[in-house]
Amino acid sequence: MRRTTRTRLLAGALLPVAVVAGAASGTVPANAIANGEPVPIGRYAFSVKLTMTGIPTADGGKRDSACSGALIARQWVITAGHCFRDANGVRVDRPVAEETTATVGRTDLTSSAGQETTVVAVRQSPTADVAVAKLAEPVTDVRPITVGRSAPKTGAILRLTGYGSVTSTNPVPETRLRTGQMKVVRVTDSVTELSGHKPRNNTTPCPYDSGGPFFQQSRKGPVLVAVVSNGPSCPHTGLELAARTDDIAGWIRQAMRQN
């Protein structure tokens, strides 16, 4: 898995600590969007910022971190599975932080728009780096994104959104939702491989974009096909490995029905 960025709160500043999120991979879990662009206020309101505070560490300490995601039902968010890992780095079916806050429908995080609530339950996909998280309260004023059931075709252009950094060098999460476009290079059993497209050929996810949605536009609105999972340090012109959601749409529906 891609390296993710842990953060510790010290003297009011976020200090990034890079760690290996998976076993033997040369890529790193993605975490805002390098060479992307700010999202107009109110657009892609289904985008979600997940803020985790007080995550246990292997040495007995605590760390803070963040991920991106998307609202897929009034009380459910989809994100990367590695956003919920225990002190040993193992993906788990529960919130791991003392508090995980979901901010929905707030393009500019310095504003009071949208809604804040907490994550109360997590379901991990058994086959992909994907998790769905249940919210303490339903979000009633934002239309969820549709979870697609068909894989994107090679050459298709996907849009992504995220609240992460704009670089892997001393990354700090952005306070404004950002977006960019990437082109589908290949689709495998569990991963959609993409390369940068617009605004630049190295427009790519960065630290804290993990779990951000990749989606296609249809006449009925945006359709989710993958979430940010793995890729090189950003910005880059290599391949981004997004975790497919179309092929686990049935599992997603079933997981949301579980109590």
Give the pLDDT score at 18.
Answer: 32
Q: What is the fold, at CATH topology level, of the domain defined by 4-25+45-135?
A: Thrombin, subunit H (2.40.10)
Whether the per-residue pLDDT at 83 is higher than 60: the answer is yes
**134 CB neighbour count, 10 Å cutoff:** 20
pLDDT at 258: 83
In order, the DSSP letters of 129-150 are S-EEEEESS---SSPPPEE-SS
DSSP-assigned letter for residue 91: B
Mean pLDDT of 223-250: 97
Q: Worst-scoring range by mean pLDDT, 72-81, 199-208, 250-259?
A: 250-259
State the pTM of this model. 0.88
1, pLDDT greater than 80: no
Residue 99: closest CA among 75, 128, 144, 135: 135
Reply yes or no on whether the pLDDT at 105 is more than 70: yes
DSSP state of 250: H
**Dihedral angle, C-alpha 84, 228, 247, 217, nearest 10 °:** 130
Residue 169 CB partners (closer than 8 Å, separation 6+): none
Decide: 114 and 105 in contact? Cβ < 8 Å: yes
Question: Residues with Cβ < 8 Å from 255, sequence gap 6 or more?
Answer: 123, 125, 132
Place of tokens 């079916």: 93
- Over residues 167-182, the mean pLDDT reads 94
Mean pLDDT to the nearest integer, 186-191: 96
Alpha-carbon gap, residue 84 to 92, rounded angstroms = 6
Whether pLDDT at 32 is above 60: yes
By the 10 Å C-beta count (0-12 exposed, 13-18 middle, 19+ buried), 1 is classed as buried
Where does CATH 2.40.10.10 sit in the chain?
Answer: 4-25+45-135, 146-247
* Range 146-247: architecture per CATH: Beta Barrel (2.40)
For the chain, percent of residues with pLDDT exceeding 90: 86
> 8 or 107, which is more confident?
107
Q: What gap in Å lies between CA 41 and CA 33, rounded to an integer?
A: 17
The fraction of the chain above a pLDDT of 70, given in percent, is 88
When mean pLDDT is compared across 23-32, 153-162, 209-218, the lowest value belongs to 23-32
Residue 16: predicted pLDDT: 33
Confidence check: pLDDT of 171 > 80 = yes
